[in-house]
Amino acid sequence: MLRPLLLLMLTGLLLPARAEDPPPALEAVAMPADVRLAFDGRIDEAFWQQVPGSDVFMQQEPREGDSPTERTEVRVVYDKNNLYIGVVLYDSEPDGILSFQRRRDASLATDDRFMWILDTYNDGRSAYFFEINPGGLMGDGLLTTGQSISLNKDWDGIWEARVARGAYGWSAEIRIPFRTLNFDTDQDTWGINFQRTIRRKNEELVWSGFRRNQGLYRPQNAGQLTGLRGLSQGLGLEITPYAIGEANRVWTDGDLDTDPVGDAGFDVTYSVTTNLRASLTINTDFAETEVDQRRVNLTRFPLRFPEQRDFFLEGSSVFRFAPSSGVDPYFSRRIGLQGGLPIPIRAGARLAGQVGRFDVGFLQIRTGELGDVRPEDFTVARVKAHILDESTLGFIYTRRSTKDGAELGLQDRHTLGVDLELGTSTFRDSKNLQFQAFFIAHNAALIDDDKTFFDRTTRGIRFSYPNQPFFMHASYREFGSGYDPAVGFNRRDGFRRFQPSFGYSWLLSDHPVLREFTLGLRHEYLMDLDFKAETVNTSITPELRFESGHQIELLVGHDFERLIEDFDIRRDSSIIIPADSYHTFEVGLDGWTAPQRRVSVRAELGYGGFWTGTRATSTLGAVVRPIPGISISSEWEHTFVKLDEGSFRANLVRVFTSLALTPWTSLSANVQYDDLSRIVGLYGRFRWVIRPGSDLYLVYTHNWLDDPMDRFTSLTSQAATKLTYTHRF
């Protein structure tokens, strides 16, 4: 199988593509020094009317390539310090415009929206992502491409948007400081693309790349923004001091300990060049970071939770390694966190950006001492070379050093990895074809470790054909029995795995009720290093998407698991699954109503064999949006496991409330409970965006133990106030 796939890959990379229509272009007009925009969301000033606009949008859905049902017109201007976008989104039914959300970065699956990307290097490899809705919500993120498309929406850039509504529809003015972006001053052309969603029609309109395997999230298919000259980032210096006050309480054996503290720190960012930034953080605190979503884990392997701390999110895209291959030689949550508890970060330095044809990233972090945890130094270095038109060759290095680690039998831990990405979007004229390969090795963590070099390595390849209507992928990877990178994340080791998947989507553009039908087939064959099967899964997933926005998905699967040692499923020795081989079948049904409704619901049901017995799962969720800016969502997950060794139930309840009547203030509360840990957790946060880049946070957390003998006994609580203020020079 490998030889024909490689031949197919090389054919797509080396043969010339068929000439197609050039992408649309939009000229950025320099704004005269004497012009002052009202910046009120209305594109009615005389200057805006003199700027040439573009309205060459086309449908991506429901009818690929058709003309839009509503007109959209965009204009772009700039001055020395800022990029301005003016957009008018005409609507023949302005009362039908949907706008529920206000809180920054909230999902806009419920709303009309306008999105755009800026590929400031014009290389089709990464981009800045932005979005707004008619209520003034602002969302942003970092977009990277490769074997998969990754949109990191935890990045918060400094920019502004104002919106207005009228009988014409809605409009917006957007101002993005050039200091927020990395770019090459030698280039006067950027990649740019726009997308509009008309939610009541579930209509998606794109400015460039209307095909279903193209679109906004693929910078390779963006249009051109020309005429950018004389751009400035000022001195390129940004200082963000913070002040924080905290009160922590811990209840232990009936005693109450109180530990009020005050602290301060700062971040400094300097643009070494317009496309390379260096940052320094001192005495970093992440009190404003949102709490992790709780999950019930009935597997033998650890769960991976996403990074949410700003310092590690900034510039994080350059550190991504072999995306979609399931390897993480660098996982930032290994720094400054242990067992979910924060470890103080005393200082850190970061360098991220582009130098010529190379993406570069560097991190150096020093953590402090906490209890039995000793101070540590972390180093992460990443270099990724751009080769061919859509391909990269990258290297990554990490180091972890524990103070006086030799006393614990530890030595400095080093990890080195290399990844290759080959890709083309012109295979068979306009199809995407991708290949990925990686290799990672690390030294022994313990001084007396007897594992071999082969044991501490992982390697793999992956082919992907991500197109419509037919899509497929095939991957093979091997993990050594001692693979455990010290600054990375790994769920499982000691295996070889082959995994193909196939699918076909029928877009039913003329059907009055159905929008799309997709049929997928996925197979996983996982063996130990002696080629003996351990995990074999096969599943078929038909999926229906309706014109209304409703969706239904069915799953039918067969599973095989060879358990080589006893498994303590509840992690309390109450139920032990014996080592043996297990064949099981499962079925599942997942359905959810259109998210743009004031009340939307989701239900997921599953039933099948599970080790020596059966497992029945159900998830019920609902979201209520009584008025714009307010949403209340709740979810209940129930699992009933019936085994020969015993039976048990697991329940997980989440309730999330958000109040954001303006885009600049938000109040959110999150309550979670599961009856395995029997812990109730409350997280509340108020955020006031004083101005972009400067925020005030009020945060409160409280945890209770649901003790059958003494209901809801307090365990811990924390109240924090944090003020950050960004100064740019």
Q: What is the pLDDT of residue 594?
A: 93
Answer yes or no: do 219 and 317 share one domain.
no
Q: Pick from 226, 247, 262: which residue ends a domain?
A: 226
pLDDT at 163 over 50: yes
Which residues are CB-contacts of 291 (< 8 A; sequence separation ≥ 6)?
670, 672, 681, 683, 701
Alpha-carbon distance values, 493 to 441, 485, 566, 579 (Å): 13, 11, 17, 18
Q: What are the pLDDT digits (tens) for 364-419?
A: 999 999 888 899 999 999 999 999 888 999 999 999 999 988 888 899 999 999 99
CA 610 to CA 585: how far, in whole Å? 8
CA 546 to CA 449: how far, in whole Å? 57
In a domain, 483, yes or no: yes
Answer yes or no: do 44 and 145 share one domain.
yes
83 strand-pairing partners: 78, 176
**Residues for the chain: how many in total?**
729
Mean pLDDT of the chain: 90
In a domain, 694, yes or no: no
Task: For residue 547, give the 3-state DSSP assignment.
Answer: coil
Q: What are the pLDDT digits (tens) for 272-321?
A: 888 888 999 998 888 778 888 888 899 999 998 888 888 888 778 889 89
Answer yes or no: do 29 and 156 share one domain.
yes
φ/ψ of residue 473, rounded to 5: -155, 160
- Domain total in the chain: 2
Task: Give the number of other CB atoms < 10 A from CB of residue 182.
Answer: 20
In a domain, 716, yes or no: no
Comparing CA positions, the residue from 590, 498, 577, 494 lying closest to residue 545 is 590
Here the CATH number for the domain that contains residue 10 is 2.60.40.1190
Answer yes or no: do 92 and 191 share one domain.
yes
Answer yes or no: do 428 and 335 share one domain.
yes
Q: Could you give the residue ranges of the DSSP H alpha helices within 69-185?
A: none
Distance of CA 63 to the CA centre of its chain: 28
pLDDT at 3 over 70: no
In a domain, 344, yes or no: yes
**β-bridge pairing 255-273 and 391-402:** unpaired
Q: What are the pLDDT digits (tens) for 76-127?
A: 999 999 999 999 999 999 999 999 999 998 999 999 999 999 999 998 888 9
Q: What is the pLDDT of residue 212?
A: 87
Q: What is this structure's pTM? A: 0.87
User: Is residue 255 a contact partner of residue 296, using CB atoms and an 8 Å limit?
Assistant: no
Q: Which residue has the tokens 């409009």?
A: 171
Query: Where does residue 685 rank: exposed (0-12), middle (13-18), buried (19+ CB within 10 A)?
Result: buried
Q: Pick from 462, 489, 516: which residue ends a domain?
A: 489
Q: What is the pLDDT of residue 647?
A: 94
Alpha-carbon distance values, 105 to 110, 154, 156 (Å): 13, 8, 9
* C-alpha torsion sign, points 607, 293, 114, 276: negative
Q: What is the pLDDT of residue 396?
A: 97
Q: What are the pLDDT digits (tens) for 147-157?
A: 667 787 877 88
Q: What are the pLDDT digits (tens) for 580-618?
A: 999 999 999 999 999 999 999 999 999 999 999 999 999
Least confident of 111-125, 423-437, 566-580, 683-697: 423-437
In a domain, 392, yes or no: yes
Q: What are the pLDDT digits (tens) for 504-522?
A: 999 887 888 999 999 999 9
Answer yes or no: do 87 and 202 share one domain.
yes
Question: How many percent of the chain have pLDDT more than 90?
Answer: 69
Q: What are the pLDDT digits (tens) for 428-439?
A: 888 889 999 999
More confident residue, 706 or 168: 168
Which amino acid is residue 366, in one-letter code?
A: R
φ/ψ of residue 679, rounded to 5: -115, 130
Q: Which domain holds residue 455?
A: 307-489
| Three-state secondary structure of 351-411 | EEEEECCEEEEEEEEEECCECCECCEEEEEEEEEEEECCCEEEEEEEEEEEECCHHHHCEC
Q: Which residue has the tokens 């059958």?
A: 708
Distance of CA 164 to the CA centre of its chain: 30
514 Rama class: left (phi>0) / alpha (psi -120 to 50) / beta: beta
CA 230 to CA 234: how far, in whole Å? 12
In a domain, 632, yes or no: no
In a domain, 232, yes or no: no
φ/ψ of residue 456, rounded to 5: -100, 30
Q: Pick from 489, 512, 533: which residue ends a domain?
A: 489
Answer yes or no: do 364 and 215 share one domain.
no
Answer yes or no: do 107 and 219 share one domain.
yes
Which amino acid is residue 138, in one-letter code?
A: M
User: Is residue 636 a contact partner of residue 619, using CB atoms and an 8 Å limit?
Assistant: yes
Q: Which residue has the tokens 């969706």?
A: 551
Comparing CA positions, the residue from 130, 139, 138 lying closest to residue 163 is 138
Which residues are CB-contacts of 647 (< 8 A; sequence separation ≥ 6)?
613, 640, 641
Which residues in 611-645 belong to E strands, given as ranges?
A: 613-624, 630-643
Q: What is the pLDDT of residue 324?
A: 81
Answer yes or no: do 197 and 342 share one domain.
no
More confident residue, 553 or 340: 553
Q: What's the pLDDT band for 14 if we cut at 50, 70, 90?
A: very low
CA 143 to CA 133: how far, in whole Å? 19
Q: What is the pLDDT of residue 17?
A: 44
In a domain, 673, yes or no: no
Answer yes or no: do 365 and 484 share one domain.
yes
Answer yes or no: do 325 and 454 share one domain.
yes
